[in-house]
Amino acid sequence: MRIGLISDTHGYLPAEVFGIFKGVDLILHAGDVGKEEVLIELASIAEVKAVYGNVDHYPLQGKLKNIEFFEREDIKFCLTHIIPSPKTFAFQLFKMNREADVVVFGHTHKPEQVRFNDILFVNPGSATQPRYSQGRSVALLEIEGKKISVEFKYF
């Protein structure tokens, strides 16, 4: 299974995303969507799961959650926008009595992947407003059995 990861679009979906996400089975948007049209455009590629971020207001806040838990291919996902740190968020998951194999988040506009307590934390960066990186970015997450790999795509 291939999953497209995107965050911090701030109301604009760059054309390059369509080519990068071609053939994915699912797209996860980790907040700061900006406009509902971004989600509609992404849905023309594949199924979309999204959460709202700190700059998203109504109607997006009324339609999206701030945190989403779901499972695909026996992998438990948590999708949210802001995490304080992997260590702190792992403890928050414990306090919520929730488990996750993968946490997808955004907010920092910085692409990164970190493993903490057997949880893979992935931030795809920003598709429109990069900070501290090689440019605008998204990520592709691939699941093969229990193996999970992440590839960042810069454009």
pLDDT of 134 reads 84
Determine the structural domain holding residue 7 and report its residue range: 2-154
The candidate with the shortest Cα–Cα distance to 79, out of 18, 122, 126, 136, is: 122
Q: What is the CATH number of the domain that holds 21?
A: 3.60.21.10
Q: In the predicted model, what is the mean pLDDT of residues 54-76?
A: 96
Band (131; pLDDT cuts 50, 70, 90): confident
> Is it the case that residue 133 has pLDDT exceeding 90?
no
How far, in Å, are 11, 95, 120, 131, 152 from residue 68 at the CA level? 21, 16, 16, 25, 22
Average pLDDT, the chain: 96
Q: Is 119 left (phi over 0), alpha (psi -120 to 50) or beta?
A: beta
Percent of the chain with pLDDT over 70: 99
Domain count for the chain, please give it.
1
Any idea of the CA torsion for 124, 1, 22, 57, to the nearest 10 degrees?
-40
